[in-house]
Amino acid sequence: MSKITSFFATRWGIVSAGAFVGIFAPLLQRWGNPGNMGICVACMERDISGALGLHRAAVVQYIRPEIIGFVLGALIAAVLFREFRPRGGSSPIIRFFLGFFAMIGALVFLGCPWRALLRLAGGDGNAILGLAGLTVGIWIGVLFLRSGYNLGRSQKEMKFSGWVFPMVMIALLLLLLFAPQFGRTPEGAPTGPIFLSQKGPGSQHAPILISLVIGLCVGFLAQRTRLCTMGAIRDVILIRNTHLLSGVLGILIAAFIMNLLLGQFKAGFLNQPIAHTDYLWNFMGMALSGLAFALAGGCPGRQLFLSGEGDGDAAIFATGMIVGAGFAHNFSMASSAAGAGAYGPIAAIIGLIFCIVLGFTMREKIA
């Protein structure tokens, strides 16, 4: 067991985890997931939000088993390696809204950092703007971290609290499998409570079991290796350390090769799957997300893996993202292939102001 632990802590350990994501994300796309969206934590949580009726954008509603797998895979790894530690209480309401605005930013860009990498690996040039925005957002976060920003200490919690979020995931799995329907409108449209897209990206998905198993593996590997797309850039800026970055490069290179092999690589800016070409808001959306992730201490994937370890603060961040997705679509803040949504830009600016105010005000003395 300790040999496995030390391998995962090495550079090759994290590169393997990244490569696993880079190999299987394009395959998930081949097996049914939407374009350059083999894995996208933000998009997939947005689809879950829609499936639960928190928004009614009929084309993006599906309970994505990958997300369920991420949390449960991390839980299995944490329990096996004795790292399951229920904890919480480090500025929960702040973390909720960091998750909320991280999602707003991600839906202005149309993807989380994971999808930004996968979009780039698929040839989508707009992802370059997103990754540049992400880097600038994280850099601003690092300036705050260096000058004393923090969200305070978490406390050890009782065992059961760590099981709540994983149980929510099991409930989601059951809701996906049974998809309860309470009735239909006079026009024949289902009234929920579970909504599953009949067309559009939400209707495109790999078979449930495949999605779930790959999600479980990613969750397991990422929990062991601490894979984090935000941390990768942050650590380079903050401490000149490239450990996490090598995992991210593993994703990018493996996905690029896989896309070439599968004939999914298409270079250009125009007509890319589920993407728009508004350079400014591709950049600004990810800048907001990057800053929010940096202030919360992890990318959206990492927040799910930490939730599986029993970290209640990370679970609240993830919940904030799911709720944020509901608001993003209900309030016309999410982008579409046509460009930024009507209220996306103003929402992104409000989010940036919120994060900057936090950066200046959340400064508990910790040492």
Partner 1 sequence: MVDKIDARGLSCPQPVILTNKKIKELGKGIFEVLVNTETSKENISRLAQQSGWGVEVKKVDEDYCLVLKKE
Q: Are 133 and 282 in contact (CB under 8 A)?
A: yes
What distances in angstroms separate CA 200 from CA 102, 187, 276, 339, one per listed residue? 24, 21, 16, 17
Residue type, 231: G
CB of 139 to partner 1, least distance (A): 14
131, with CB counted inside 10 A (0-12, 13-18, 19+), is buried
Q: Are 311 and 90 in contact (CB under 8 A)?
A: no
170 vs 67: CA distance, rounded Å: 11
Residue type, 10: T
Give the binding site for partner 1 (CB under 8 A): 9, 81, 83, 85, 87, 90, 145-146, 150-151, 153-156, 226, 231, 234-235, 238-241, 243, 297-298, 313, 366-367
CB of 135 to partner 1, least distance (A): 16
151 vs 316: CA distance, rounded Å: 14
Q: Between 167 and 239, name the residue whose CB sits nearer to partner 1.
A: 239
CB of 9 to partner 1, least distance (A): 5
71 vs 77: CA distance, rounded Å: 10
Q: Between 146 and 184, name the residue whose CB sits nearer to partner 1.
A: 146
Q: Between 181 and 241, name the residue whose CB sits nearer to partner 1.
A: 241
CB of 83 to partner 1, least distance (A): 5
Q: Between 88 and 285, name the residue whose CB sits nearer to partner 1.
A: 88
Q: Are 306 and 83 in contact (CB under 8 A)?
A: no
Q: Between 9 and 261, name the residue whose CB sits nearer to partner 1.
A: 9
CB of 49 to partner 1, least distance (A): 25
CB of 85 to partner 1, least distance (A): 7
CB of 306 to partner 1, least distance (A): 9
Segment (H or E) for 193:
none
Q: H helices within the chain, ranges in order?
A: 2-8, 11-30, 41-51, 65-80, 92-109, 113-121, 126-146, 161-178, 208-225, 229-239, 243-262, 279-296, 300-308, 312-330, 344-361
Q: Are 255 and 246 in contact (CB under 8 A)?
A: no
Q: Between 38 and 308, name the residue whose CB sits nearer to partner 1.
A: 308
Q: Are 92 and 238 in contact (CB under 8 A)?
A: no
Q: Between 197 and 225, name the residue whose CB sits nearer to partner 1.
A: 225
CB of 214 to partner 1, least distance (A): 24
Q: Between 6 and 191, name the residue whose CB sits nearer to partner 1.
A: 6
